[in-house]
Structure 1
Amino acid sequence: MSEDLNQVEVKSFEIGDKVTGQVTKVEEKQVLVNLQDSKLDGIIPISELSSLHIEKASDVVSEGDSLELEVLKVEEDALILSKRKVDAEKAWDHLEKKFHDGDIFETEVKDVVKGGLVVDLGVRGFVPASLVEPFFVEDFSDYKGRKLTFKIVELDKEKNRLILSHRAVVEAEKGKQKQNRLESLQVGQVIDGVVQRITDFGAFVDIGGIDGLVHISQLSYDHVDKPTDVVQEGQNVKVKVLNVDRDNERISLSIKETLPGPWSNISERAPKGSELTGTVKRLVSYGAFVEVLPGVEGLVHISQIAHKHIGTPHEVLKEGQEVKVKVLDVNEQDQRLSLSIKELLEKDVEENLDFVLPEESKGFQLGEVIGDKLKNLKK
């Protein structure tokens, strides 16, 4: 009689009906439930417990759990039910809103499969390998069980297709940080950075989510042939902001301007009366500019080049020539050095120096030479 009643009651249900049941027994491949307000039992096959593949029913439900279910099949004295379909139906509505709103949310990676990651959002969500990180990842095995932030990039309910991206979240955050960093930068700021990339024309330095260029001319006060002679990738450096082009997202930086200038402490490095060796850099009508330290040039006035009268510095000097000079005066504030070649020639016979005399200067009188030497001896 009771079996007849069960059969009658079972037949009162139709496929697609929504019911509530309490878990009475969890077996390995199925779950038994008792339907609310009924003496009927229902069966949930393991494949209908979750949108993901599971090995054991106990991974999803426990005895005593109350579940919302959908009738899949009506049998003689029991109902075949699905938890997965109810969960999916609720999930799609929720997920469609997230997709249209562009929401970012956090969820756990349930599985690592060939080609990407799998998450459970009430329906199976797939994260292709190319959408996991902004960089190449060779092995995803340690991603299982990790919680990551995601954004839905593709949703098709009819095809049961849900594609997620963690990479999009990371890149959007970087873009926001980059914009904030651009807005905060001010010309003249000195900040810390890390050398990211080196090219023939300079080095790109990361200054907090955005790269700026240190042109080769801004790497050092010394002449630089190759940027790698001065900096290396990964090196921590201090840089000064020279220019910020927010529209084109271009930043010009300088390492050179954070370093002590070539004229810093020049009074100590080239004190008055000191003797130095330098290189003739430029010849002008009134004298010669000699580089005595990297980036430091001093003037040898034409009257301080030789004891004898010369019409132009070109008569006795040439660019690139190495000379010994004496510091006559130092002005660190105005970055000026007064030098003399003549002062050191008093110690030697001037004729022994490799001075080049033009043809018109060779018609001198013997008395002039002897007279110059006598003057030197009197000194």
Structure 2
Amino acid sequence: MYDFLIIGQGVAGSLLAWELAKAGKSVFVIDKGNPYSTSNVASGIVNPITGKRFVKSWLMDEIQPFSLKCYREIEHDLNVNFLSELSVYHVLNSVQEINDWSAKAATFHYEKYLSTSEIHYLDKEKVRNPNGCFEINGALKISASNFLSAIKNWLEAKYCYSEEVFEEAALNESRDFVEYKNVRAEKAIFATGYDEFFLKKHSNVKFSPVKGEGLVVEISDFFSENIVQGNVMISPTMAKGIYYVGSTYEWNFRDELPTESRKSELIERLKDTINCNFKVLEHVAGIRPASADRRPILGFFPNSRIGIFNGMGTKGFSLSPYFAKHFCDSLVAGKALLPEVDLKRFF
């Protein structure tokens, strides 16, 4: 019998499986193996400073160093390469943005990420930045596909992975264990991201999913090892000359398929940011599993052996390492969950 059955091998499920295995627990993971899942097509960015007002992301002083350590550890242990440490160059578009940035740069709590008040100017022939840019330190870029493939291979080598569409009706819960087909475990944890059936079944757990679309592009005569944030974010991939461009935000949507309207929007925003020829190689879309209060959701349903690890929203690659460890510490050592992420807040 396994200690934990995990349904879903996106970034959240992958990291929870990793932390539990590190803690000496046995895990079995089920995933449908969709190469276009939200985690697979994500930009994979950990950005310390976000939003129009340049706010330091929640718990970033703990999350950023932990994420860096966690991803580097996985790279080392699995002998893979998927992580880059880089900066974000944010194009200043207005006097208001310059004032907001200057105020934040002078604040002690931001000095780790905004270490200088210097305005940088990127190549004006290629990047439209008449007012210059400011630099955000400490960003991370994870190749989502490389990371997820590495975890899948690791699980398969341990014979604790099954690629299949999960059948809800085949999951049975008893007083002492849960059972799915021929897999028996003490507990089951759903890390399925946006799962319409699961969300409807547990409607008291409040989600506010956000659809996002992005482009993979080849840009001529353009090179950047760092992220450029203009009217759209341009982040380097592990392939030379290929960049991820994104993303859009949509709270009312029909499905998770890419749309021509959003593709056109991204192309226009990219043209507003750079003055280079580019070719669209791929157009991707996914639905981010954001919670209504924009906090992760961890824990077990009342009087049940079935739990959830979800709600990372637009920051899956940022929040998942820290909260996978946080959840693991609760499961293994009985440590209390932070009230703001505990599933109990919905009951």
TM-score by length of 1: 0.18
Q: Which has the higher strand share?
A: 1
Higher RCO (CA < 8 A, seq sep 6+):
2
- Give the structure with higher Rg (CA): 1
More helix by share: 2
TM-score, normalised by the number of residues in structure 2: 0.19
